[in-house]
Amino acid sequence: ATGHVGRHCVRYLEERYPELPYAIAGRNRAKLQALADEFKLKSSVGKLVVPDLTFSERPNEPLAEIVAQSNVILSTAGPYELFGESVVRACVDGRAHYVDITGEGHYVRRMIEKYGTAAERAGVKIVPFCGFDSVPADVGSYLAVRHAKEGGVEVGDVVSLYKDMKGGVNGGTIRTMFDIMEKLANGTREEKRLYRSDAPLSSLGSRTLPKTLRPTARETVGLMKLWVDGAPRWTGPFIMTPVNSAVTRSSAAVLGYGARFRYCERYKVPNVFAAAMMVATFTGLFLLGRFSLGRAFLGKFLPKPGEGPSDDNVYKNGYFAADTLLWASGKTITSDAPVVKVSMSMPRDASNGVTAACACEAAVGLASPDEVARMPQTFGVMPPVVAMGEPYVNRIEKLFNVSVSTQAAEPQSRL
């Protein structure tokens, strides 16, 4: 709880659920006590400080004791490749549900291989990707597909168009990105297999996804126009497309979105020059990140682990807004109008405020036996929508002030 996002989770729970009993845990007694003092956590309602918790791959008695007393564990300690597995293992052994905010697909695939079957047998929901990676993508796609099917539309392409984002990034996220880049360049064969795998990010259903569902290279990192608001608009790449695409495709495979469902993400920009600048920036960051000297150079200008944007930038100045657009099967995203638009926004910084809110809502829902009983009775390692279904979708609809609308579907003139 003592990391940057962990602190925002405590703030969110205190503001939204002041009577909820929960405990905070971490690796530093002084930081834990400072966090408890900052938010005046009172043990009279069960808000306890658990000191000296060490996350390691060795058996951990304090961790097992915490899990034994919990309905759900919310983990915000990343990179999860380094600090996550012991918590997942303890939750499976102790039959407690688990939520985290990872965007590390390789780590989740390893958890599926090692603990997916055991979690299913134990009746435990292991739910990664409950932050900005990848709740807006997963919930937005689900709502768009549901609305389309209710209207008798065969689902085709789905695009999340991020329109406005203000805030910052924290040091834990930067460290995770650097770790991924380092492993892609210098990792073992097994590590590279997990990083490059296109296996589903769910322990349910098929162990392979149709290659036709993947976004193209152009949709992922290239320049592209998108038909928006009655005209073709320039868009740039969005950095989370690879992981969010894998999450939404995994949900689609389990929930049956349709054989022609495809997903990608784009960022709305004013002109082609801004789009080209985004492509150049992402390309430069990727190339620098593949080399230790490049990572060291970038690290001089980026937040360190435990650092992040100020509270003002998270709560007063932070903001995100996005539309999830759905095209009917057979239509083209560059020259035909979408038929469904799901709009969402939140006056919080995406990487911290939005992530904390999404993760806390997942944990609060899983902490309630009554709400769990209304969720899909499926267990294992699963994306948010697959694991928690309509109860969680309803929470996010309220959180993001979601609106769903049907768009004009008549053919547009070709570019």
Contact 265, 238 (CB under 8 A): yes
Sign of CA dihedral 202, 204, 208, 211: negative
- Among 27-31, 127-131, 254-258, 359-363, whose mean pLDDT is lowest? 27-31
Q: How confident is the model at residue 408 (pLDDT cuts 50, 70, 90)?
A: low
Contacts of 121 (CB under 8 A, 6+ apart): none
How would you label 65-89 residue by residue, b for 16+ Cβ within 10 Å and e otherwise? Answer: ebbeebebbbbbbbbbbbebbbbbb
Q: How confident is the model at residue 48 (pLDDT cuts 50, 70, 90)?
A: low
Q: Please give the average per-residue pLDDT across 311-329, as a whole number.
A: 93
Query: How far is Cα 379 from Cα 393, in angstroms, rounded to an integer?
Result: 18
pLDDT in tens, 148-191: 999 999 999 999 999 989 888 887 778 888 877 777 777 777 77
pTM of the model: 0.91
CA atoms within 13 A on the CB side of 392: 32
Share of the chain above pLDDT 70, in %: 91
pLDDT in tens, 259-306: 999 999 999 999 999 999 999 988 888 888 878 888 888 888 888 877
